A and B are shown apart, each in its own frame.
Chain A
Amino acid sequence: MYLRKLKDISLILFKFMHDSKPIIEIKGIGKKYNITHQRGGYVSLRDVLMNILKSPFSFLKTKAKQVVGLEKKEDFWALKDVSFNVQRGEVIGIIGSNGAGKSTLLKILSQITPPTEGEIILRGRVGSLLEVGTGFHPELTGRENIFLNGAILGMKKKEIAEKFDEIVAFAGIEKFLDTPVKYYSSGMYVRLAFSVAAHMEPDILIVDEVLAVGDAEFQKKCLGKMEEVTQKNGRTILFVSHNMGAIRQLCEKTIVLNKGSIVDFIETEKAIDIYLSKTKSEKIIIPLKNTNREEFRIKKIEFKNDTNKPWIVECFEKIKIEVIMEITENIPNFRFGIGINSLSGERISTVHSDEKTLEKGEYLVSIELENRLVPGRYELGLGVLNRYQLPGFSILEVENNKNNDHKWFNPGSIDIKSDFVIKKK
């Protein structure tokens, strides 16, 4: 009897002691990439051999230098000296422009890639959601994919079986449970994928830009679900997004990252202000390193307007963009789209090409956009239907220098062509 009491007390004490420690402790994390790794995608042995044959001496020289340790290191620190703590039950947002190191940080936290230096202590079960539907197999049915995806996300089979009905109900796909997911509409696919993910029960949840997919209504439902979970279960969440609306809704505190280090870690509103003022004074470079997919990759995105200032356009002047991409597998229903967002992450407009079957090869996509954007700064994103999204590859600046008859604009983002006729009846 006494013994049991003692055990209870010690258990409570144990819990208390643990709770007082931060659930996530990050100490001086840094991640170094070798630039040569990033540049070429993958190299083939032939290329290496060709390089040796072409210039044997310089090859020997660099090799020799490498051995002695004298070579010019083309290192790139994606993260440098990042430290912060997160307490149990906190929901923390992470924002920053492209290339600020957000994804690298999440990848290190979810153990996909190890840090070069530093240490992280995670006190609890970690679930990471860097993409919805990781490991979904198109040939498998909805039912089968729920189990497969759940297991990949780290759920136990028993756990998945218990939550199965809930997952299906949340996704609303009861009728299609035994249909291979390749026949699903893209909406259903995303709903199912998110639903599995939303039913994970880790102590720490790491979420990357996953809400960028799916229609607005479903996004709201997801946000609602995430909010519900955090409030009810006191789950700790790290949440990366370009969507300032979502960050505002979910996170109490937010980290602003820039060029691999923390600019600030404060209340969300202030953080967003800092981030927005920062992006206003800085150009964003297109990071193409993430565009390698199995079936296609984007080689180049170019701004083709006749100005010497890239990504700056006069208002009402057509926006011309060229994208060069390589396709390594035939893709049926290929649809290429461009999205225009406001800097706070709300979608202003989405346009896309017709659906088309594309065979292997290199393609040039020429895009011309009618420009009715009000002067200001916008974020351009691109995507391929059901396959790929590159949110915010560049900031587009719309200027007003030449239009003397249109000196000012009304509030809003788009100047719709209008015709008002006022006549006396």
Chain B
Amino acid sequence: METTVIRPRKTFSLKDIKELWQYRELLYFFVWRDLKVRYKQTFVGVAWAIFQPFITMVIFSIFFGSLAKMPSDGVPYPIFVYVGLLFWQFFSTALSDTSNTLISNQSIITKVYFPRLILPISSVMTKFVDFLIATLILIGLMFYYGYMPHISGLLILPLLLLITFMASVGLGLFLASINVKYRDVRYALPFFIQIMLFLTPVIYPASIAGKYSFLLAINPMTGVIQSARAAILGTTPINWLLIEISFISTSILMILGIYVFKKTERYFADII
């Protein structure tokens, strides 16, 4: 017998995790819906998931690689920038989607109950599928330039993905909660993401900042992208300290994000 007790809500309890598990099918359906709907009524369909990073890579390679002669740690610039772009796009698209997910599912939130955390998680998972598709290009590029990935290096990729996941979910939950009340987020975020692109070593190597490169490490994506290059391309030795810092800071970010989200969750339906 299922018994539900409804009381004035407290912030967070272990029950919430159990409940998330109970609603895993709905999570699956949200991801499925977003994937299904996204490329409907488009001519090339899923190819968009490949076009976007590919074209960006080509443009960046022409302007930053060939014309501006950006250093790339001794790796052909296209692969160098593509590894950065791959992780950056996963992070930035997941972040902007999570921030807007409550607003775009407003009509469901005000009519049906389910653990609201499902929505941001489903946004990130949808973006992860894009990430996987875009990885195909990377594999192609590596074949073309004759690069073999280091098998041992590949093993830390799941850890890097986890950090990216926590960074985008943590920050995204925080922004999503604000967005419910202040729609400013919707306008400020694209701008913020654009600036962040330049503060993250995507188009340039972190070494370019010289002795100030440690400042870039404040940004957790620096650690992710640098380590990804180290792991896949063997540009530099893997900097474990950097990974540890990123891991700890994003874990804290995510816990804070969940806390704020749960705290404000109770009035989502009232003010959205």
In A93-151, the 8 Å CB interface with B consists of 107-126, 128, 130-131, 134-135, 137, 139-140, 144, 147-148, 151
A202 to chain B, nearest CB (A): 10
A44 touches B182 (CB 8 A): yes
Residues of B within 8 A of A59 (CB): none
B111 touches A151 (CB 8 A): no
Residue of A118, A120, A121, A140 near B36 (CB, 8 A) is: A140
| Residue A64, interface by CB 8 Å | no
B271 touches A111 (CB 8 A): no
Q: A111 — nearest CB in chain B belongs to which residue?
A: B113
| Residue B106, interface by CB 8 Å | yes
Stretch at the interface among A152-160, A347-355, A372-380, A394-402: A152-160
Complexed CA–CA distance, A81 and B184 (Å): 37
A112 touches B181 (CB 8 A): no
Residues of A within 8 A of B271 (CB): 37, 42
Residues of B within 8 A of A135 (CB): 107-108, 112
B107 touches A123 (CB 8 A): no
B113 touches A128 (CB 8 A): yes
Q: Mark B169-184, 1 if CB is under 8 A from A, else 0.
A: 0000000000001111
Complexed CA–CA distance, A117 and B6 (Å): 10
Q: Mark B1-44, 1 if CB is under 8 A from A, else 0.
A: 11111111100000000000000011001001100110011000
Residues of A within 8 A of B269 (CB): 107, 112-113
Complexed CA–CA distance, A375 and B272 (Å): 41
| Residue A294, interface by CB 8 Å | yes
Residue of B37, B107, B182, B267 near A139 (CB, 8 A) is: B37
Residue of B3, B183, B267 near A113 (CB, 8 A) is: B267
Q: B182 — nearest CB in chain A belongs to which residue?
A: A45
Residues of A within 8 A of B9 (CB): 114
Residues of B within 8 A of A134 (CB): 107-108, 111-112
Residue of B26, B37, B41, B181 near A152 (CB, 8 A) is: B26
Q: B265 — nearest CB in chain A belongs to which residue?
A: A114
B240 to chain A, nearest CB (A): 40
Q: Indicate whether A33 sits within 8 Å of B270 (C-beta atoms), given known contacts A44-B182, A134-B111, A151-B26.
A: yes
| Residue A300, interface by CB 8 Å | no
Residues of A within 8 A of B113 (CB): 110-112, 128
B33 touches A137 (CB 8 A): yes
Complexed CA–CA distance, A48 and B178 (Å): 14
| Residue A4, interface by CB 8 Å | no
A347 to chain B, nearest CB (A): 24
A152 touches B108 (CB 8 A): yes
Complexed CA–CA distance, A125 and B41 (Å): 38
B6 touches A151 (CB 8 A): no
Complexed CA–CA distance, A148 and B27 (Å): 11
A113 touches B270 (CB 8 A): yes
| Residue B263, interface by CB 8 Å | no
| Residue B213, interface by CB 8 Å | no
Residues of A within 8 A of B40 (CB): 139-140, 180
| Residue B110, interface by CB 8 Å | yes
Complexed CA–CA distance, A116 and B108 (Å): 22
Residues of A within 8 A of B29 (CB): 147-148, 151-152
| Residue A309, interface by CB 8 Å | no
| Residue B266, interface by CB 8 Å | yes
| Residue A50, interface by CB 8 Å | no
Residues of B within 8 A of A117 (CB): 8
| Residue A221, interface by CB 8 Å | no
| Residue B64, interface by CB 8 Å | no
Residues of A within 8 A of B107 (CB): 134-135, 294
| Residue B114, interface by CB 8 Å | yes
B118 to chain A, nearest CB (A): 11
Q: A144 — nearest CB in chain B belongs to which residue?
A: B36
B112 touches A112 (CB 8 A): yes
| Residue A417, interface by CB 8 Å | no
Q: B180 — nearest CB in chain A belongs to which residue?
A: A42
B175 to chain A, nearest CB (A): 13
Residue of A45, A126, A140 near B184 (CB, 8 A) is: A45
Complexed CA–CA distance, A134 and B26 (Å): 14
| Residue A406, interface by CB 8 Å | no
Complexed CA–CA distance, A25 and B198 (Å): 57
B37 touches A111 (CB 8 A): no
Complexed CA–CA distance, A107 and B113 (Å): 9
| Residue A280, interface by CB 8 Å | no
Q: Mark A48-91, 1 if CB is under 8 A from B, else 0.
A: 10000000000000000000000000000000000000000000
Residues of B within 8 A of A42 (CB): 181-183, 271-272
In A153-188, the 8 Å CB interface with B consists of 153-154, 156-157, 180
A227 to chain B, nearest CB (A): 24
B200 to chain A, nearest CB (A): 26
Residues of A within 8 A of B267 (CB): 37, 113
* A to B CB contacts below 8 Å, 10 in the list: A37-B271, A43-B181, A46-B184, A109-B6, A114-B7, A114-B8, A123-B1, A134-B112, A137-B33, A152-B29
Q: 8 shortest A-B CB distances, which residue pairs? A: A111-B113, A120-B6, A114-B9, A151-B29, A122-B4, A45-B184, A139-B40, A134-B111
Which B residues are closer than 8 A to A by beta carbons?
A: 1-9, 25-26, 29, 32-33, 36-37, 40-41, 106-114, 181-184, 266-267, 269-272
Which A residues are closer than 8 A to B by beta carbons?
A: 18, 33, 37, 42-46, 48, 107-126, 128, 130-131, 134-135, 137, 139-140, 144, 147-148, 151-154, 156-157, 180, 203, 294
Given contact pairs A123-B2, A140-B33, a sample of 5 additional A-B residue pairs in the complex whose CB atoms are under 8 Å apart: A42-B183, A42-B271, A114-B9, A124-B1, A153-B112
